[in-house]
Structure 1
Amino acid sequence: MNAIGVLVVLGLVYLCSPNKKNVKWKFILILLMVEFLITWFMLSTKIRAWIINQIASFFTWLISCANEGISFVFPSAMANEHVDFFFSALMPIIFIITFFDILSYFGILTWNIDKVGWVIAKISGLPKLESFFSIQMMFLGNTEALAVLRQQLSVLKQQRLLTFGIMSMSSISGSIIGAYLSMVPATYVFAAIPLNCLNALLIANMLNPVNISKEEDIVYVPDKGQRKDFFSTISNSMLVGIRMVIVIAAMVIGYVALTAGLNGILGFFVDGLTIQKIFSIIFSPFAYLLGLSGKDAIYVAQLMGIKLATNEFVAMLDIKDKINTLAPHTVAVAVTFLTSFANFSTVGMIYGTFNSVVDEEKSQIIGKNVWKLLVSGMAVSLLSAMVVGLFIW
């Protein structure tokens, strides 16, 4: 059923593709083969989590540095054992943007984009910049990764910008890996991280296939005349960061409030009806394609609905107390599916980020293609879970 599920998801995404003739099947098959190898490596070897942990520790260090600055200005908020979303997920953006802008200023980031992106591009079939972004967003988070590449994004055409939006639905942030590990098994969290990266590339190849020339597949480097002095650069980075924090916060507040309002309207007509329940019914067939049946299939479908309508944290808190009562296969596919930022609030965050880092006209490409972002997020989560499900029974 898991193998059939992979084919069904790929088939549905292909049907959604507006440019079917340009889908690069060669690279999709290559990405799938690489996924199987990585999944075997992550689930069957002792070194599996060490490598991911080393990368994650760097981004955790970045977050800890950011927290030092936040604690200085907001000591009482950061002293709280349960730091809220605004301070834990949004405020670190200010420092992270500044840090990577310093790397860009000295040419370190652009060099990495060019070299690392080139290697991944050979596997993904996408341009170097998009390929590098898939790695970067695995731990940095979608909004932070987009902000770091804002100079690159500012010179791209709308069609390529859409690829970044589509891929952004599949990320997580290094700052919240620790929170995940406190609720669910680490093995499946660490397996989901690289799988989401590869599946984001795969789905982008299908939903938004883009062909560019070698001349276009370059890393943008500002002319020396356009570069400001070092302190002006980092000061501007900090201002860009705080503007992004405000815009993203507004989007998240608005989308969560709209969900609550819609649930209230639905409940008025049908007692107990919510968006979460509607989505759980819609996604119930996919729960069976994950190799589940009976109560487990119904329960995982409910987790899918919760994740899409609210976020993965709520769903993980729900499964946390039930893990010992569930079959290993059910735990594997459920946790892998939940390990990503694929929900309605994330769409708002991505749109808010684009609105902050590129001009309003370019950012409209996200608003016009929200359905593609949602299809991408759910398809990536399903594919990752189905691939892991092939190895755990």
Structure 2
Amino acid sequence: MKYIIAILGLLVVVGLAVLVSSDRKKIKYKPIILMIIIQLILSFLLLNTKFGLVLVKGIANAFGKLLEYAGEGISFVFGGIANEGQAPFFLNVLLPIVFISVLIGIFQYLKILPLVMKGIGVVLSKINGMGKLESYNAVASLVVGQSEVFITLKKQLGQLPPHRMYTLCASAMSTVSMSIVGAYMTMIEPKYVVTALVLNLFGGFIIASIINPYTVDEKEDILIVQEGEKQSFFEMIGEYILDGFKVAVIVGAMLIGFVALIAAVNSVFDMAFGITFQEILGYIFAPIAFIMGVPASELISAGGIMATKLVTNEFVAMIELTEIAGNMSERTLGIISVFLVSFANFSSIGIISGAVKGLHEKQGNTVARFGLKLLYGATLVSVLTSIIVSIIL
């Protein structure tokens, strides 16, 4: 039965993407089918094999060590604030972003990350049928973040037509940056985080190839990566420390606002209608949860988590998932966990358009105009990833 639902889910996702396609005649289904097969193989390797178990365990242990090192610095500055046995979310989940941000900066400074990103991008371009620029951007978004990636492409932003800008922004919204992966792993199982990161990379190309199909002329497919200002090693470290701290504080502030707002809205709806706002959203998203392979008995609760992620952000949704995880089956936890690992939410529209506008005002306005279409496509990517995982679980 799960295979029938998965096939139905794939057809629905592809159909919804085709529905808003800019040019259905240009859709190339061969690379799309190839990438779906690659997704299935990768999800099987990561979730159902000893190799995948060892790989995920190694990555999880690596991030675990990084979080331990980060904890040393956090304890030095904030030791004694929390009562014994307590684990404040800001200190234990968000502040380690600062240390991981520094590590990313070091690998950037040593020219290791740019080389890796370009190399993987070239290989991906052979598979996805898109340009080197689009492929590099997808990998770079995964490493440096959805807003910072556009800085590396600053020289080319003004020369890109709207259809290529859409694909670049779609990749940025469909992935998550490595700096916060460690934070995710403290809330959901690492194997689902790693699997989602890999599958979303291909899922972004699949959905973009349907919604926004085009062919890149080889003469136009030139990748020019903007080098940052020449800094000393310690200047760079200082900059990345502050950048990481800004991300942690911004996420923390958004969580305070969103969690409080949801609590207030839920209370008002409960008093007025006898049902919370999230329960209403759960019913709305239940059909989507169904095609993702969630069992019928858990559709409403799963749909509510999915809706929370869309209207707030993935952190709020992950916090809520941890609170009800004990009442969910392992299958549902896996499906919903991979759905949550992306930046597909309403606030990302403003973040991405703002980042581009800061570098090129005209292109920023272009991005803002197709903001809802971006969110639509990125959400389909998350649904697609969940469907692929539901076949394996």
Question: What range is the shorter-chain TM-score in?
Answer: 0.7 to 0.9
CA pair 83-305 structure 1, distance change in 2 beyond 3 A:
closer
Q: 2:110 and 2:361 mapped to 1: Cα distance?
A: 27
Q: State the partner residue of 1:8.
A: 12
Q: Distance in 2 between matches of 1:65 and 1:96?
A: 12
Backbone CA RMSD of aligned residues: 4.4
Residue 291 of structure 1, CA deviation? 2.7
Q: What is the count of residue pairs matched by the alignment?
A: 382
Q: How does 1:1-393 map to 2 (within 5 A)?
A: 1-51=5-55, 75-76=77-78, 82=88, 84=90, 88=95, 99=106, 102=109, 111-153=115-157, 155-220=159-224, 230=231, 238=239, 249=250, 260=261, 267=268, 271=273, 276-277=278-279, 279-356=281-358, 358-392=359-393
Shift of 1:355: 2.5
Q: Are the equivalent residues in 2 in contact too, given 1:66–1:95 (CA < 8 A)?
A: no
Q: Cα gap change, 1:117/1:142 in structure 2, threshold over 3 Å: closer, same or farther?
A: same
Moved more, 157-166 or 366-375: 157-166
The amino acid that maps onto 2:293 is G
Give the direction of change, closer, same or farther, for the CA distance of 1:92–1:160 in structure 2 (3 Å limit): farther
Letter in 2 for 1:30: L
Amino acid at match of 2:308: I
Tell me, yes or no, if the aligned pair for 2:255 and 2:315 is still in contact at 8 Å: no
How far 1:375 moved relative to its partner?
Answer: 0.9
Q: Hey, what's the Cα distance between the residues in 1 that align with 2:207 and 2:322?
A: 30
Structure 2 Cα separation of the partners of residues 349 and 154 of structure 1: 19
Deviates more, 1:282-291 or 1:171-180: 171-180
TM-score (norm 1): 0.77
- Aligned mates of 2:151, 2:66 — CA distance in 1: 15
On the 8 A contact 1:276/1:308 being kept in 2, the answer is: no
| Partner-residue secondary structure (3-state), 1:169 | helix
For the residues of structure 2 that align with 1:101 and 1:178, how far apart are their CA atoms? 19
* Separation of aligned partners in 1, 2:151 and 2:274: 40
Structure 2 counterpart of 1:20, which letter?
R
The CA distance in 2 between the partners of 1:140 and 1:61, in whole Å, is 21
Tell me if the contact between 1:113 and 1:219 (Cα under 8 Å) persists in the aligned partners. no
Which amino acid in structure 2 is aligned with residue 198 of structure 1?
F
Contact residue 170 and residue 377 of structure 1 kept, 8 A = yes
Shift of 1:346: 2.2
TM superposition shift of 1:25: 1.2
1:82–1:6: structure 2 CA closer, same or farther, 3 Å change rule?
same
> Residue 7 of structure 1 aligns to a residue in which SS?
helix
Higher mean C-alpha displacement, 280-289 vs 79-88: 79-88
TM-score normalised according to structure 2 size: 0.77
> Which amino acid in 1 is paired with 2:175?
S
The answer to whether the 8 A contact 1:114-1:218 is kept is no
Task: Give the Cα separation in 1 of the matches to 2:261 and 2:31.
Answer: 41
Per-residue deviation, residues 150-186 of structure 1 (Å, max 9, x unmatched): 4454653443222121122222233333333333333
Moved more, 322-331 or 55-64: 55-64
How far residue 303 of structure 1 moved from its aligned partner, in angstroms, is: 1.1
C-alpha distance 60-22 of structure 1, shift in aligned 2 (>3 A): farther
Identity of aligned residues (%): 29
Cα distance in 1 for residues equivalent to 2:301 and 2:348: 23
C-alpha deviations, 1:173-202, integer Å up to 9, x for none? 333333333333333222222111110111
After superposition, the Cα gap between the structure-2 partners of 1:189 and 1:253, relative to the gap in structure 1 and judged at 3 Å, is closer
* Secondary structure of the structure 2 residue equivalent to 1:172: coil
Kept in 1: contact 2:66–2:100 (CA 8 A): no
Task: Answer yes or no: is the 8 Å Cα contact 1:3–1:390 preserved in 2.
Answer: no
Q: Which residue type is aligned with residue 119 of structure 2?
A: K
**What's the offset of the Cα at 1:58?**
8.0
Mapped to 2, the partners of 1:308 and 1:47 lie a distance apart of: 33
